[in-house]
Amino acid sequence: MARIQFGITNPRGTPGEVVSPATLAEKAETWGYDSFWVPDLLNGSDLDPIVILSGAATRTSHIRLGAGVLILPARPPIQLAKTALSLDTISNGRFILGTGLGRYMKDLTDAQVGSGSRVSLTDESLHILRRLVHETDVSHQGKHFNTENLTIFPRPVRENSLPIWTSAYWNGRLVPEGPLKRAGHFGDGFIYRAPPRLYKVAKEKISDYAVAFGRDPDNIDWSCFMFACFGPSKEEAWKTVKGVLQGFGRDLTDESEGCYAIGTADDCIEAIQRYIDIGVTHIVISAKSLPEQVPEQYEAFAKEVLPRLR
């Protein structure tokens, strides 16, 4: 069985003077994490993920660097291919290009993307992105984009090219077929934050789609974003998490149906093991605590949880 991978996310909306992203990525590498992820939000105080990851690439040597996830319909695929391949070169082949439809409609509206066109934009973007990353002399005539004998340089560092992952947004029920079909068709990895029972269903459907498209589902990285918080007890940790999420205008209504690793080390291990049991291969934790406590949360998680699951 392959070694389970673990990653962390850069905290949302946190000023750099509180938690420096490059420093956090550097520490994550020394703590033994496998990946460092940055979200893409056009509105708010968050820094651009590609800028953050470019800085992190210069301070690290082997941790993988993930965009989790880029709002694909807001980014022209030809320019994104150039940007992604450039970051792949700077990081010596460590970049993971996570992609998604975009969760917040204001982000899409501000990027001049209509709700009716984001699906077709995303599907065509994924198609041409994969070709530009894997091939040279790419010609494409589509609904949104046209190219003729186009080769993007630099070329990927790795022999198996630059991985492009797809995602889905969980809102309390299984996602529609579209994101699952998209993952089976295009995804080198799949990112989903959902309870194990729904993740399992999604994974089975994506695997069926992959086979239908002539792909091997065993070659897909199965990843899960998890809210995480260490505490002396599950009850105390939940108080912290709820306070942080309410600060972002969010609330938790069902503690049992989310994707959480919250409480003591034993609580977190039990929660993560449920995902490992259904075949998830890459766990990405997002610490939900006060900004100044985020590094110590990640360090404690690395010391108390990771060794017992690897």
pLDDT at 221: 97
pLDDT at 249: 57
Element (H, E) at 189: strand 189-192
Q: Which of 103, 147, 149, 138 is closest to 122 using CA atoms?
A: 103
Please give the DSSP secondary-structure letter assigned to residue 195.
Answer: -
pLDDT at 286: 95
pLDDT at 70: 93
Is the pLDDT at 181 greater than 60, yes or no? yes
Which stretch, 63-67, 99-103, 290-294, has highest mean pLDDT? Answer: 63-67
Is the pLDDT at 24 greater than 60, yes or no? yes
pLDDT at 248: 59
Give residue limits of the domains in the chain. 1-33+222-310
How far apart, in whole angstroms, are the C-alpha atoms of residue 309 and residue 238?
22
Is the pLDDT at 116 greater than 70, yes or no? no
How far apart, in whole angstroms, are the C-alpha atoms of residue 86 and residue 93?
10
Q: Which of 12, 34, 10 is closest to 221 using CA atoms?
A: 34
Q: 232-271: per-residue pLDDT in tens?
A: 999 999 999 988 877 655 555 555 567 999 999 999 999 9
1-33+222-310: CATH homologous superfamily? Luciferase-like domain (3.20.20.30)
